[in-house]
């Protein structure tokens, strides 16, 4: 066993190896020492054929996911070496093999995740002063690519996804990206991949096979060689770590910079879009105000809205039309929200389905979610807004899949497939028979005994059993002359004989093995249902997206109603006009009604620039931030906190707010400020909004 462990450890030398032994995953040598420290486990020893005992620690297999998740969160890779056969059937040492490698960006244990946040992994290829970027979330099946020719924009684009892990080619470390800053400040696991991952031919071949296309042009990757190589490398990496077909990754999304507003990481941080600047908490951020979603999928999509505001006027107006109609039809909206409240995370549950890790309760959660799709679709079909009608069309009620799960699975099954009690009565004739045997075996034996006694005329014939001979007919010497020819002698006694028959042997086999056979059959039937569901991944993913979108629109409508927001006008003239503007977060953090409203007016003429002056604590920073937040909220299709607003389409929002010394890079406060302003001036266009707060404060 130890020899096999060492072979596995050599093959997965960059991983912590969880080695399954019976009811435990055990760790040895350096892995044991490291995990005993990180996971606070007791370090013991095990004889391994050497002079000294091997350091060892372990965790129960049923609790392993919790420990694996902790290691992944701490930046470790974990290889799970599982028993591949039942120890009872093993001839010699039990066959074992690595079934999955968990990394910070590929952890699929959704029970340990924040449902409102994606778990992205990013792959970067740097070559010839150009970057290929591929981004995936294996728990939801999202997969996006882009090509970028600027290191600053690459960093902003990448950090917009808040990745847990970055894999890249060696050249990326010489691209100008501060890798140490990503590791230390952003807490991202960064790992260089071997050149074989970026082999163009192998990557393109895998992409065509995975997405079932004859040519990558059909995926929108024409003239995107760097993105293609990054996508290929990421797919190879995911295949090698997940060791499955990744069937939930069904399409590639091309990130088109022209279709959404660019917001750099500094602006996201300064405007506190998803977490506060100091405490890094959701409370006090913009998403804290706007997120009244009912589903995890909706919460993730709202976050994407904030990270990627629209710049297409027509698309923005479509969202605003939808929010407006939802606000007019409050009873319908609130009924939809009630249905949404009972929908589970379909995207991540389907990820578990295709990875073959979904348990019976996951399937019941899917069935429960599917039961809400029909009522939601029915209500949305009554709306006139183009966007809502389109979402109604995209929601598939999944009636066939609902009925399959309803017929196949019990209402309250156990969490694992190893206990039985999964399959509903009436779904499988064979399972029903085994249940009948298990429950009524004694009655069957009594009936067989009575029928045989009557047919043979042996009045004292009895069915008995023991551990050596199993079940048998016992006949006394006085009735041996009546024993039929099909009776098979098993044992001779002083007072009589013991026999069996084909019918008794068949019944004995059924009774003795009914429980074990029933559990195995239920497991097979459950797997069959799960596989059918996996074949319908595309339908469920499209439906999940439509449900999430509906959830976000309902949330925006709900917030607009309760916070007294108004619909903004959208223009392309370069005019930003706000009457009675309020900061959406600050007004919630101070006593009701005490926020002093402000007007804002900017255009492309004489009012291109506003210089804000005043004493400390006068509200200058709040004034500037509320302008940026109202503009951004309008671009995601949200109502805004003011009396009247007319907002011009902007392509970027820049903020430079109160810098501090960057000790990690050896830069003074003044140098940080000047660098940020320089980057803004290089990147800003005539359609950009700039918020510059206290430039030169550090001098």
pLDDT (tens digit, 9 = 90+) per residue, 61-118? 888 999 999 999 898 999 999 988 877 777 778 889 999 999 999 988 766 667 888 8
Most confident of 401-410, 618-627, 683-692: 401-410
- List of domains in the chain: 2-102 (3.40.1170.10), 111-255 (3.30.420.110), 429-528 (1.10.1420.10), 564-693 (3.40.50.300)
Is the pLDDT confidence value at 58 over 70?
yes
Residue 194 pLDDT grade (very low, low, confident, very high; cuts 50, 70, 90): very high
Indicate whether this model's pTM tops 0.75: yes
Residue with the bigger pLDDT between 286 and 86: it is 286
Q: Could you tell me the two tokens for 652? A: 């970027």
pLDDT band at 616 (very low <50, low <70, confident <90, very high): confident
* Cβ(95)–Cβ(117) below 8 Å: no
- Three-state secondary structure readout of 66-77: HHHHHHHHCCCC
Partners of 570 in beta bridges:
647
Contact 622, 583 (CB under 8 A): yes
Strand-pair partners of 465: 471
Residues 580 and 401: their CA atoms lie apart, in Å, by 51
Q: Which residue has the higher pLDDT, 614 or 136?
A: 136
Please, what is the average pLDDT of the chain? 90
Return all residues near 166 (Cβ < 8 A) that are at least 6 apart: 105, 121, 122, 123, 124, 158, 182, 188, 189, 190, 191
CA 493 distance to own-chain centroid: 67
Mean pLDDT of the 32-59 span: 88
**What is the C-alpha separation between 194 and 198, in angstroms, rounded?**
8
Q: What is the pLDDT, as a whole number, of residue 110?
A: 66
pLDDT beyond 50 at 665: no
The pLDDT assigned to 663 comes to 36
Least confident range of 270-274, 276-280, 366-370, 465-469: 465-469
Q: 202-206, 431-435, 627-631, 659-663 — which is least confidently predicted?
A: 659-663
Check pLDDT > 80 for residue 20: yes
* Range with the poorest average pLDDT among 336-340, 392-396, 450-454: 450-454
Per the CB < 8 A criterion, the answer to whether 681 and 604 are in contact is no
pLDDT of residue 580 exceeding 80: yes
Token pair of 137, please? 């979330």
pLDDT of the residue at 29: 92
Q: CA 547 to CA 340: how far, in whole Å?
A: 8
* Per-residue pLDDT at 698: 52
What confidence tens digit (pLDDT) does each residue in 532-561 have? 999 999 999 999 999 999 999 999 999 999
Mean pLDDT of 647-671: 70
State percent of the chain over pLDDT 90: 64
Instruction: Encode pLDDT of 357-391 as tens digits.
Output: 899 999 999 999 999 999 999 999 999 999 999 99
pLDDT level of residue 262 (50, 70, 90 thresholds): confident
- Residue 137, pLDDT score: 95
**92 Rama class: left (phi>0) / alpha (psi -120 to 50) / beta:** left
State yes or no: pLDDT of 574 exceeds 90.
Answer: yes
The residue assigned the tokens 């039942």 is: 86
How far are the Cα atoms of 185, 313, 563, 625, 637 from residue 567, in angstroms, in the given order?
A: 38, 14, 12, 19, 9
CA count, 13 A, side-chain hemisphere, 78:
31
Task: Tokens for 633, please give them.
Answer: 């909220």
pLDDT tops 80 at residue 192? yes
Average pLDDT for residues 490-509, to the nearest whole number?
A: 89
Residues 6+ apart with CB under 8 A from 471: 445, 463, 464, 465, 500, 504, 507, 508, 511
Average of per-residue pLDDT across 683-694 = 88
More confident residue, 2 or 315: 315
**Nearest alpha carbon to residue 398 among 375, 429, 415:** 375
648 Cα distance to chain centroid = 36
Q: Which of 282-286, 567-571, 613-617 has the lowest mean pLDDT?
A: 613-617
Give the pLDDT of residue 662.
41
Q: Measuring CA to CA, which residue among 394, 334, 393, 397 is closest to residue 554?
A: 334
Is pLDDT above 60 for 664? Answer: no
Helices (H), 409-471: 429-456
Interval 186-199 mean pLDDT: 92
pLDDT of the residue at 505: 87
Structure confidence at residue 583 (pLDDT): 95
Region 482-508: mean pLDDT is: 90
């Amino acid at each position: 066993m130890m020899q096999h462990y060492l072979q596995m450890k050599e093959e997965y030398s960059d991983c912590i190896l969880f080695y399954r032994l019976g009811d435990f995953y055990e760790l040895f040598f350096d892995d044991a020492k490291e995990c005993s420290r990180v996971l606070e486990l007791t370090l013991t020893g095990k004889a391994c054929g050497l002079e000294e005992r091997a350091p060892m620690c372990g965790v129960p297999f049923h609790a392993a996911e919790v420990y694996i998740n902790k290691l992944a969160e701490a930046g470790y890779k974990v290889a799970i070496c599982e028993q591949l056969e039942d120890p009872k059937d093993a001839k010699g040492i039990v066959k074992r093999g690595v079934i999955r490698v968990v990394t910070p960006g590929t952890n699929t244990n959704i029970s340990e995740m924040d449902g409102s946040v994606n778990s992205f992994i990013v792959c970067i290829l740097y070559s010839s002063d150009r970057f290929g970027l591929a981004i995936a979330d294996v728990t939801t099946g999202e997969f996006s690519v882009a090509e970028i020719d600027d290191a600053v924009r690459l960093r902003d684009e990448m950090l917009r996804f808040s990745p847990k892990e970055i894999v890249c080619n060696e050249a990326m470390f010489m691209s100008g990206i501060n890798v140490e800053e990503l590791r230390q400040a952003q807490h991202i696991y960064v790992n260089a991949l071997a050149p074989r991952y970026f082999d163009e031919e192998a990557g393109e071949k895998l992409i065509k096979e995975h997405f079932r296309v004859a040519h990558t042009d059909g995926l929108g990757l024409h003239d995107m060689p760097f993105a293609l190589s990054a996508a290929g490398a990421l797919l190879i990496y995911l295949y090698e770590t997940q060791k499955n077909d990744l069937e939930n990754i069904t399409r590639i999304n091309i990130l088109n910079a022209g279709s959404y507003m660019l917001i750099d990481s500094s602006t996201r941080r300064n405007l506190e879009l998803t977490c506060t600047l100091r405490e890094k908490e959701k409370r006090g951020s913009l998403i804290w105000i706007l997120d009244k979603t009912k589903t995890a999928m909706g919460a993730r999509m709202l976050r994407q809205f904030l990270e990627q505001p629209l710049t297409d006027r027509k698309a923005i107006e479509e969202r605003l039309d939808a929010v407006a109609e939802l606000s007019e039809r409050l009873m319908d909206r609130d009924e939809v929200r009630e249905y949404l409240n009972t929908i589970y995370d379909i995207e991540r549950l389907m990820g578990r389905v295709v990875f073959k890790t979904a348990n019976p309760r996951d399937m019941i959660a899917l069935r429960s979610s599917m039961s809400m799709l029909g009522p939601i679709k029915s209500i949305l079909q009554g709306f006139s807004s183009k966007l809502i009608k389109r979402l109604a069309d995209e929601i598939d009620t999944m009636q066939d899949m609902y009925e399959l799960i309803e017929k196949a699975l019990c209402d309250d099954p156990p969490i694992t497939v190893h206990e039985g009690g999964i399959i509903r009565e009436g779904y499988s004739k064979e399972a029903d028979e085994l249940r009948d045997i298990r429950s009524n075996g004694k009655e069957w034996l009594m009936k067989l005994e009575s029928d045989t006694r009557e047919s043979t005329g042996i009045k004292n014939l009895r069915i008995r059993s023991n551990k050596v001979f199993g079940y048998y007919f016992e006949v006394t010497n006085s009735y041996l002359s009546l024993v039929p020819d099909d009776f098979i002698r098993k044992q001779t006694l002083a007072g009589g004989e013991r026999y069996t028959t084909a019918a008794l042997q068949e019944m004995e086999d059924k009774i003795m093995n009914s429980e074990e056979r029933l559990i195995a059959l239920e497991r097979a039937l459950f797997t069959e249902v799960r596989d059918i569901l996996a074949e319908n991944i595309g339908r469920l993913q499209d439906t999940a997206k439509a449900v999430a979108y509906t959830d976000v629109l309902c949330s925006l409508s709900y917030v607009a109603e309760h916070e007294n927001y108004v619909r903004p006008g959208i223009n392309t003239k370069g005019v930003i006009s706000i009457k009675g503007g309020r900061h959406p977060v600050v007004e919630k953090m101070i006593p009701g009604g005490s926020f002093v409203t402000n007007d804002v007016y900017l255009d492309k003429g004489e009012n291109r620039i506003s210089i804000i002056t005043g004493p400390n604590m006068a509200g200058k920073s709040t004034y500037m931030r509320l302008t940026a937040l109202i503009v951004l909220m309008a671009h995601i299709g949200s109502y805004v906190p003011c009396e009247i607003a007319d907002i011009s389409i902007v392509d970027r929002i820049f903020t430079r707010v109160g810098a501090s010394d960057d000790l990690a890079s050896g830069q003074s406060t003044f140098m940080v400020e000047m660098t940020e302003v320089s980057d803004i001036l290089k990147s800003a266009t005539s359609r950009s909004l700039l918020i510059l707060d206290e430039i030169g404060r550090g001098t």
